[in-house]
A and B are shown apart, each in its own frame.
Chain A
Amino acid sequence: MRSRIVITGMGAVCGAGRTPEAMLAAIVEGRSAIGPIGGFDTTGWPVTNAAEIADFNARALVDDRKLHKLIRRTDMVGIYAGDRAAESAGYAAYRDALDEDAANAFCDRTGVYVGSGAGAFENQYDFFPLMAAANGDLVKFGRDLPDTVNPMWLLRTLPNNVLCHVGIRNRLKGANACITNHSVGGTLAVIEAAEALRHGEADRALAIGHDTPIEPQNILYYDQCGLLSHSVLRPFDLRRDGSLFGEGAGAVALETEAAAAARGAPILGEVLGGGYVSEASGLLAIRDDGDGVVRAIEAALADAGIDAADVGMIVAHGNGTPLSDASEAAGLRRVFGDRCPPVTAFKWAIGHLIAAAGIVETTIALAALRARTVPGIATYAEPDPACAALPVASEARTPRSDVALVLCRGFAATDAALLVRATPA
């Protein structure tokens, strides 16, 4: 009998709010956080919309001002979500009441798994003033370097900064990973953390995903690859023309059932199982038959030991690109046939958070299950024959059970499926 992995805390931030419940409320009301980009001048740009965190306040997210010099925007949101999850799971309150040996053991047995967005372009722009002054002269570049570039530059750009600082701030010292696997990173953090707990590597672990992809150069590249919408993100709709970025982070605190019970931790839900595969078709290409989606879901169901009929709602990846949505619908059809539970998607309201997408959507899915609602997709209007018979809707429905399937797809033709159960609120 394998041990159950329970969820004892959550945290999330994105353009739609600073808690999963606030995000759910916005989605239920049909409010999208996607709007004109304020971070840079998009005059003349083909893509002008994204879901920014409009009132971004670094100090409100991370109280330690000294730390701000050592981290980037993506790290701020990741640390915020991780701290909130640790706080709501009651880590510090419990640990501080222990004697020193027991407190140290608690720290050593608490892990951190992070899906990090890595690979941003803007962090290297810090070298532009030096490069402009050197004008191609690398000797001058090398000589003037110490006077021009922040000595902590490399540390500020580490992809594993959230892992590092959430660890330091919360005294977490156990098993860990920083997964830099594009969109599936956050979901993989949950899957790997749950597996580590099942196999006794730790008693509890934070799983975090964070990303801030709304960068000019990134937007141009994605648009060049035909991935971005020039208007509205409409998952599964006939008129869909691409995705739009969002930014933010999500975190869940996972714990073995025994460890959670021993410290009387709150139980918000449970990670039932996960599945993850690649279609081996290169960085951008995906199959149109949904092969990866099918295999990921089947692996997740087998891992969880449940049937397709037990799934109460599906949070699709639904990124709004013509090919991804059609192949995702094809995959769902192959697994669930004509008995598919209500399907929804959240990116129309929060944008595509890339490495944070799957985990933020998992926290919203848990909030939705607890509120017993499958929120509608407000931008969904015209059914697409290519997504035929997929039970998506613009209005809210009721989940068939307390189990949600959350799908996540990423570059390198990767597909992840996560099954979670919510404890009634």
Chain B
Amino acid sequence: MQQPRRRVAITGIGLVTPIGNDVRATWASLDAVRNGAAPITLFDASGFSTRIAAEVKQFDDEAITAPRRLLKFANRSHRFALAAAEEAIRDAGIAPTDDDAQRWGCAVGTGMMGVAYSDLSEVQRHSAPDGTIDCRKLLTDPSAADPLAFCRSQSTAGVALLTRRFGISGHATSVHTACASGGQAIGTALKLIRRGAVDRALAGGFDSMISPVGLAGFCLLSAVSTDNDTPQRASRPFDATRNGFVLGEGAGFLVLEEWEAAKRRGARIYAELAGDGNSLSSYRITDSPPNGDGPIQSMRAALADARATPADVDYINAHGTSTGMNDRSETAAIHAVFGDDAKRVFVSSTKSVMGHLIAAAGAVEVAICALAIDRGEMPVNANYRESDPDCDLNLVLERPRRQKVRMTLSNSFGFGGSNSCVALRSPELAGDTQ
């Protein structure tokens, strides 16, 4: 007999992505397969080996209703976070009050780029004119004395803004496991509600690495596609000619609620946040084991945690970065976990349309899974032309596939070997495991 336990409902979604600045626009772009990649406009990238990215477009701070003074503490990724969180809270139709603020939690996957390039550049010009930091010059450096620049640079800047903006005074945490961050943040929030630490949570991820230093990091590793002349074709997960990911940016947030509390208030429930699985590859820092070891354990753990089997799953939103190594390893893992069911279960990587949102990716993709269940539609794995025998998956090709979706998995695997898998279940079926 399995112990009864608290279940968790997804009742609000907010998105800021390279293909839309809210849920409606993002979903419409996925539906129409409108690709978000283009030549970089945020800075002059013409000297870089990769000159394309999937930028958030026409983002307007006016979309954030937070007090203007709070925005002084926000860098680009924090602004995405504030906007997406606001949409999620509005969508859920519930927000923390003075009476229940302590029963709300917040868990975010946060990017690794604390210091904005403009701030770094000012310090370099003033205090390292010849390339080496001079501590005497630093002492009189106005940007090294600017508390606002400091606040924006902190790893907790995002969670501080969100908890203050929405008055969340329970468990509030930031996690970073590279590209697995967003998924792990959602998993963290799931467990907080399950174990009763909080009853509701704002959970998600945000990132923006489309800056000279951020892009440089990936160019140096040859991790990003160099298809500068065909940006919209550059991200092609599972295709035989794939040659790296397309760097994206954005934020995704969910409002999570203890199931019975959500039911009592008559909330719209997109899906049950049913399970979380998380493992460490302990193989190499960037590479995934070719046999899928690591991701296999995270997928199995997510299914077990959701009290489900591979036969229950209809759709996998793959990590699918469009790098040679990841897509092969992930394919091997899906085969190992699903066996014959791998022929049936549909797979797509939405990074094929919106690029790789790094620390936000996992959260945005869990949100897409919730929408897939809610709308009965699985997004396309775009740009797939040439099959790779090492990536023989049942991909959603050509057009989105409309069908009832019972359960989904969302995979996110990070540099450093952390693997996250989040399982969602249709609300109609959520009672079955009681």
Residues of A that sit less than 8 Å from B by CB: 40-45, 70, 107-108, 111-112, 116, 118-119, 121-122, 124-125, 127-133, 136, 138-146, 149-155, 157-161, 163-165, 167-168, 171-182, 188, 192, 195-196, 199, 201, 216-217, 220-221, 224-225, 276-284, 292, 295, 299, 410-414
Contact = CB atoms under 8 A, between A and B. Distances in A.
Given A119-B153, A129-B131, A278 B106 contact: yes
Interface of B: 43-49, 73, 101-102, 106, 110, 112, 114-115, 120-121, 123-124, 128-133, 135-136, 138-139, 141, 144-147, 149-151, 153-157, 159-161, 163-164, 167-178, 184, 188, 191, 194-195, 197, 212-213, 216-221, 278-286, 294, 297, 301, 414-418
A124 B285 contact: no
B177 A143 contact: no
A70 B285 CA distance: 9
Residue of A121, A176, A278, A412 contacting most chain B CB atoms (<10 Å): A278
Contact of B48 (A130, A145, A159, A220): A145
A142 B164 contact: no
A173 B282 contact: yes
B35 to A, nearest CB: 24
Contact of A282 (B128, B155, B160): B160
A141 B124 contact: no
A410 B163 CA distance: 14
Given A217-B138, A283-B151, A145 B216 contact: yes
A137 B114 CA distance: 22
Given A128-B132, A160-B416, A172-B280, 14 more contacts: A124-B120, A125-B133, A131-B131, A132-B124, A142-B45, A149-B220, A175-B279, A176-B279, A177-B188, A181-B156, A224-B145, A282-B161, A283-B156, A283-B160
B150 A225 contact: yes
A302 to B, nearest CB: 10
B23 to A, nearest CB: 26
Contact of A118 (B49, B114, B172, B218): B114
Given A154-B218, A157-B112, A280-B167, A411 B175 contact: no
Nearest to B120: A124
A164 B175 CA distance: 14
In order of increasing CB-CB distance, the 6 nearest A-B pairs are A142-B47, A154-B217, A129-B131, A142-B48, A164-B416, A132-B131
Contacts of B49: 142, 146
A84 to B, nearest CB: 18
Given A279-B169, A412-B156, A141 B220 contact: no
B336 to A, nearest CB: 14
A132 B128 contact: yes
Nearest to A139: B47
Contacts of A41: 135-136
A195 B191 CA distance: 9
A277 B297 CA distance: 32
Contacts of A144: 47
B102 to A, nearest CB: 7
5 contacts: A45-B135, A128-B128, A154-B221, A179-B173, A221-B150
Nearest to A155: B285
Given A140-B47, A195-B195, A282-B73, A155 B280 contact: no
Contacts of B297: 108, 173-174
A278 B168 contact: yes
Nearest to B171: A276
A51 B49 CA distance: 43
A220 B106 CA distance: 30
A282 B112 contact: no
Residue of A116, A119, A146, A171 contacting most chain B CB atoms (<10 Å): A119
Contacts of A149: 216, 220
B151 A277 contact: no
Given A145-B48, A157-B112, A180 B216 contact: no
A181 B47 contact: no
A158 B415 contact: yes
Contacts of B150: 221, 224-225
A280 B164 contact: yes
A199 B195 CA distance: 9
Nearest to A146: B220
Residue of A143, A150, A283 contacting most chain B CB atoms (<10 Å): A283
Nearest to A281: B164
A118 B112 contact: yes
Contacts of B48: 142-143, 145
B175 to A, nearest CB: 6
Contacts of B144: 217, 220-221
Residue of A131, A175, A195, A280 contacting most chain B CB atoms (<10 Å): A280
Contacts of A116: 176
Contacts of B135: 40-42, 45, 216
A179 B175 contact: yes
A158 B416 contact: yes
A117 to B, nearest CB: 8
Contacts of B154: 119, 182, 283, 411
A122 B151 CA distance: 16
Contacts of B197: 276, 299
Given A112-B280, A118-B114, A168-B282, A131 B174 contact: no
